[in-house]
């Protein structure tokens, strides 16, 4: 824990009963918790939680209202699940969740956590941001200045390093993995984004040297990708059900309705049909304001580990961007029922305006 009160901890697996809601903000979350609590009161074993599943759409955000439970039970309207063990940034807020004077609400404390990871260029995860309502109206009545709420934000760097180590060992052996991972000791614990950024080019150079086959390197880096794709997964699954088992219609729907932001199209010009994905800018507003190609690429890139290198023109092997390919492998496994091969066609690491991926379409889909 540092002077801000932010700490990093590994949360244990947690059994919960969860239900999905679309809300406009914390007030509706608190209303949902109050409405649902009585249905799980007999098995409740901890403070209720809200898991934010993604970014706002149409002014609302998808959340799971989750109640920790003492034993595995089924309840109508709830899904029984186990939240995974994860490394998490944690910050506790004491005061109103909403409705208090400016600067005293939960959103104000959350901003401190967002600022902390942003200033340090820390690689955070896509696992749901968690809000734990430890003490509220049930314990303090109307004294909202005494409410206690914890914000938890997943930390992806430890998982990224672990996946790179395990993937390299699987394809090239433990000694090769040891050489690739040289210098990574204490990297996650340091919470030092610039140090991680400085380590990446050498690690990718060593990986290229130890694993000469690009497809093998792609598989290794695919495993490092963010692994929690609930929001885009729900969007793809819903669209797929709507159009039926028709890939052309699905791609047309995703594209015309801009369901996923990126540009999708089918290329049948080669020996294998490919689903092409031109990745959308990470920060669209800043991207539009950028005046130079380097600044545009910087605003387009999603990864804090290579953004500065892109802007400054520093060389990093294209191998690194196979990590992003792992996201699309998960996304389209939902449709195909198997993990597809994802190829890296173009990357901003080589001066392109955007990263372009190609998903190999399995036989029988066109």
Residue 365 inside a domain? The answer is no
In this structure, the answer to whether residues 281 and 196 fall within a common structural domain is no
- Residue 88, strand partner residues: 9, 154
In this structure, the answer to whether residues 235 and 330 fall within a common structural domain is yes
In this structure, the answer to whether residues 53 and 122 fall within a common structural domain is yes
Instruction: Tell me the C-alpha to C-alpha distance, in Å, between residue 155 and each of 116, 126, 289, 364.
Output: 12, 9, 30, 39
In this structure, the answer to whether residues 147 and 186 fall within a common structural domain is no
Residue 1 inside a domain? The answer is no
In this structure, the answer to whether residues 133 and 272 fall within a common structural domain is no
In this structure, the answer to whether residues 184 and 312 fall within a common structural domain is no
Q: How many domains does the chain have?
A: 3
Q: Of the spans 160-169, 243-252, 307-316, which averages the highest pLDDT?
A: 160-169
Looking at residue 126, its pLDDT comes to 79
Q: How many residues does the chain have?
A: 366
Looking at residue 301, its pLDDT comes to 94
In this structure, the answer to whether residues 18 and 40 fall within a common structural domain is yes
In this structure, the answer to whether residues 130 and 213 fall within a common structural domain is no
User: pLDDT, tens digit, for every residue of 308-332?
Assistant: 888 888 899 999 999 999 999 999 9
Q: Is 61 left (phi over 0), alpha (psi -120 to 50) or beta?
A: beta
Helix (H) or strand (E) holding 137: helix 137-140
Find the mean pLDDT for residues 155-182. 96
Q: Of 154, 188, 214, which marks where a domain is finished?
A: 154
In this structure, the answer to whether residues 139 and 184 fall within a common structural domain is no
Find the mean pLDDT for residues 137-159. 93
What is the residue range of 184's domain? 157-222
In this structure, the answer to whether residues 203 and 259 fall within a common structural domain is no
CATH code of the domain in which 106 resides? 3.20.80.10
């Amino acid at each position: 824990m540092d002077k801000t009160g932010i700490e990093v901890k590994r949360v244990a697996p947690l059994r919960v009963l969860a239900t999905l809601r679309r809300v406009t903000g914390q007030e509706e979350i608190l209303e949902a918790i109050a409405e649902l609590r009585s249905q799980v009161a007999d098995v409740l074993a901890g403070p209720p939680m809200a898991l934010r599943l993604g970014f706002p759409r149409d002014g609302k955000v998808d959340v799971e209202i989750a109640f920790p439970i003492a034993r595995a039970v089924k309840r109508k309207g709830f899904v029984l699940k186990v939240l995974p063990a994860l490394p998490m940034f944690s910050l506790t807020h004491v005061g109103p969740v909403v409705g208090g004077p400016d600067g005293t609400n939960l959103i104000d404390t959350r901003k401190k956590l967002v600022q902390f990871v942003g200033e340090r260029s820390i690689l955070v995860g896509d696992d749901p941001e968690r809000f734990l309502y430890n003490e509220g109206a049930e314990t303090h009545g109307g004294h909202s200045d005494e409410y206690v709420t914890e914000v938890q934000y997943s930390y992806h760097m430890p998982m990224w390093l672990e996946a790179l180590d395990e993937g390299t060992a699987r394809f090239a052996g433990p000694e090769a993995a040891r050489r690739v991972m040289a210098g990574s000791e204490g990297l996650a614990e340091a919470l030092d984004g610039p140090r991680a950024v400085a380590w990446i080019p050498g690690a990718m150079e060593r990986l290229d040297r130890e694993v000469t086959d690009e497809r093998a390197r792609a598989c290794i880096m695919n495993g490092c990708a963010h692994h929690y794709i609930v929001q885009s997964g729900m969007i793809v699954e819903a669209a797929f059900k709507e159009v039926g088992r028709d890939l052309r219609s699905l791609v047309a729907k995703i594209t015309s309705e801009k369901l996923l932001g990126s540009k999708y199209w089918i290329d049948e010009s080669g020996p294998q049909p490919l689903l092409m994905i031109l990745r959308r800018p990470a920060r669209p507003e800043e991207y539009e304001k950028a005046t130079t190609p380097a600044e545009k690429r910087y605003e387009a890139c999603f990864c804090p580990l290579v953004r500065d290198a892109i802007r400054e023109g520093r060389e990093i092997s294209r191998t690194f961007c196979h990590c992003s390919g792992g996201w699309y492998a998960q996304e389209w496994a939902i449709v195909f029922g198997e993990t597809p091969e994802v190829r890296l066609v173009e990357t901003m690491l080589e001066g392109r305006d955007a990263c372009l991926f190609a998903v190999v379409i399995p036989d029988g889909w066109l």
